[in-house]
Amino acid sequence: MTEQTTALSPARVRFALLALALGGFGIGATEFVAMGLLPNLAADLLPGLAASDPAAANAQAGWLISAYALGVVVGAPTIAAAAARWPRKQLLLALLAAFTLGTVASALLPTFELVLAARFVAALPHGAYFGIASLVAASLMGPGKRARGVALVLSGLTISNVVGVPAITWLGQMQGWRAAYIAVAAIFALTFLAVLATVPLQPGDRNATIRNELKAFGSAQVWFALGIGAIGFGGLFAVYSYVAPLVAEVTGLAESAVPLVLVVIGLGMTAGNFLGGWCADRSVRRSMYGFFVLMLLALLGLALSAQNIVGLLLFIFLVGAAAAALSPTIQTRLMDVARDSQSIAAALNHSALNIGNALGALLGGLAIAAGFGYVAPVWIGLGLSVLGLLIALVSFAWDGRRRSRGEVLGYGTELVQVVGATR
C-alpha cells in the first residue's frame, strides 16, 4: 500500500471503495441497459425494418451491444498501457469524464449509425477504469485480499443489475431509451464528484512503459486467460443480450416483466461476484472449474425450461451467479500470469469479457436472424462455455507440466509461486 493509503481512516477507505464501486454501477447501467431496451431501440432507430421484420430488427439492434463490447476491447489495453505512469486518481477522473460525455452523445445522436459509433466511443474507458480501480481497491484493502478488492469494484456492476438496470430499463420503457442514457450519464457525473472527494492520491507505476506493459502479450498463459474470458464468458452475453425477446416470445410474459427478470439476473450476479472473490482468494483453479460447471448446468436448464416462468427465473439467476463468480476469478488469474504488467493485466480482463459480450451478442443475433428462435442463443452460450472450460483445463495443465519441470511461471522468482498460481 502507498503511504497515503496507510494513513487513511477506516471510514475514508470505505467511502473511497464505495466511490469506486459507484463507477462500476454506472458501467453496469451503460453496458446492460441496451439489453432490456433492445426492442425499443430497434423500433426507434430502425423503424422500417422493425415494421417488416421485428426479429431482424432486434438482431441488428444487437450490434449496439457488440459495438460497446468492441470499444472495451480496443480501449482497455490501449489506455492501460499508455497511461500506466499516470497518477491513478487523475486517470480515474479523466476516464469518468469520458464516460459522461460518451453516454450523453449516445442519448442525443439521431441515427442508428451515429449511435452505434457513440456506443463504441463511450466504451473505450471501460476496461481501463475497472483495471485501475481494481488496483486502487486492492491497495486500499491490503495484503491477502486482492480478489476481494477486485470483487468490491465489480460489486457496483452487479448491484447495478439488481437496481440500476431494471430501474433505468423501466424509465426507458416509459420515457424513451434516450432518457435512460441521460440517467446513466448523470450516474457517471456523480461518480466523478465522489472519486474527486474520497479516493486518495496514488502514483502510477513510475517504471511502466508501453513496451514493458505490452510484454504481457508474450506470455502463452496470458493468452490462455484471455481466451477463457473471451470465449467462456460469451455464455452469459448470448443469453443476456436477448433476454427481452426471450421473456416476451418464449416465456410469454408481458414487456413489463423484463425489468423484474433483470432484477433476478442482477441478484444472481451480485451473489456470484462476492462468492467468486472469496473463492478465488483461496483457489483460482478450483473456483474456475466449479463456476464453469455451474454455468453449464444453468444454461442447459434454461434452454430446456425457458417456456416455464419458474425455470426461467431459477436458471437465469444461476447463469448470472456463475458468470459473475468467474469474473474476479479470471481477473486474478490474469494478474497472476502477467508478470510485472499489472496495469494492462487488470484491464485486459475486461477486454476479454467484452469479446465474450460481442461474440455472444453476434452469434445469438445470427441464430435469431436465421430463424432458429430466441432459445437458440442459450444453446450457443452453452457451447461457448464448454470451450471456455476446455481452455481453462489446458491452461492449468500447462502450469502443472511446468511445475513438474521445476520452472517458474515468470511472475515471481520462487518456485512456490507456481504452486500458488495453480491452486
Contact (Cβ atoms closer than 8 angstroms) between residue 335 and residue 138? no
Angle at which helix 146-159 crosses helix 126-141, to 10 degrees, equals 130
- Per-chain mean pLDDT for the chain: 81
Q: Look at the pTM and tell me if it is higher than 0.75.
A: no
Q: How far apart are the first and last CA of the chain?
A: 25
Long-range contacts of 406-410 (CB under 8 A, 24+ apart): 409/221, 409/336, 409/337, 410/219, 410/337, 410/339
Number of domains in the chain: 1
Grid coordinates of 301: 436448464
pLDDT at 87: 84
Of these ranges, 48-52, 118-122, 369-373, the one predicted with the greatest mean pLDDT is: 118-122
Grid coordinates of 146: 486482492
Q: What's the mean pLDDT in 122-143?
A: 81
Q: Inform me whether the pLDDT recorded for 80 exceeds 90.
A: no
- Return the CATH number at 162: 1.20.1250.20
Burial (CB count within 10 angstroms: exposed 0-12, middle 13-18, buried 19+), residue 406: exposed
CA dihedral 114, 367, 301, 332 (to 10 degrees): -50
CA 317, CA 313: separation in Å to the nearest integer? 6
Segment among 2-6, 196-200, 265-269, 275-279 with least mean pLDDT: 2-6
CA 222, CA 218: separation in Å to the nearest integer? 8
pLDDT at 204: 61
Contact (Cβ atoms closer than 8 angstroms) between residue 19 and residue 137? no
Amino acid at 88: R
DSSP SS3 for 388: helix
CA 385, CA 299: separation in Å to the nearest integer? 9
Q: What's the mean pLDDT in 210-227?
A: 75
Amino acid at 307: Q
pLDDT band at 107 (very low <50, low <70, confident <90, very high): very high
Grid coordinates of 11: 471510514
Cα dihedral sign, 394-399-403-406: positive
CA dihedral 349, 351, 356, 359 (to 10 degrees): -170
Q: What's the mean pLDDT in 57-83?
A: 81
pLDDT at 100: 94
Contact (Cβ atoms closer than 8 angstroms) between residue 216 and residue 84? no
Grid coordinates of 186: 448523470
Which domain, by its residues, includes 390? Answer: 3-421
Q: Inform me whether the pLDDT recorded for 414 exceeds 50.
A: no
Segment among 234-243, 261-270, 280-289, 403-412 with least mean pLDDT: 403-412
Taking phi first (over 0 means left), then psi (-120 to 50 degrees means alpha), and beta for anything else, what does residue 144 get? left
In order, the DSSP letters of 157-209 are HHHIIIIIHHHHHHHHHHH-HHHHHHHHHHHHHHHHHHHHHHSPP----TT--
Grid coordinates of 304: 430446456
Question: Measured at the alpha carbon of residue 319, what is the angle toward residues 277 and 70, in degrees to the nearest 5?
Answer: 80
Alpha carbon distances (Å) from 278 to 144, 179, 268:
11, 37, 16
Q: What's the mean pLDDT in 58-81?
A: 82
Q: Inform me whether the pLDDT recorded for 408 exceeds 70.
A: no
CA 210, CA 167: separation in Å to the nearest integer? 40
279-301 burial by CB neighbour count: b if 16+ within 10 A, else e? bbbeebbebbbbbbebbbebbeb
Alpha carbon distances (Å) from 174 to 38, 171, 243, 318:
14, 5, 19, 29
Give the other-Cβ count within 10 Å of 11's Cβ.
9
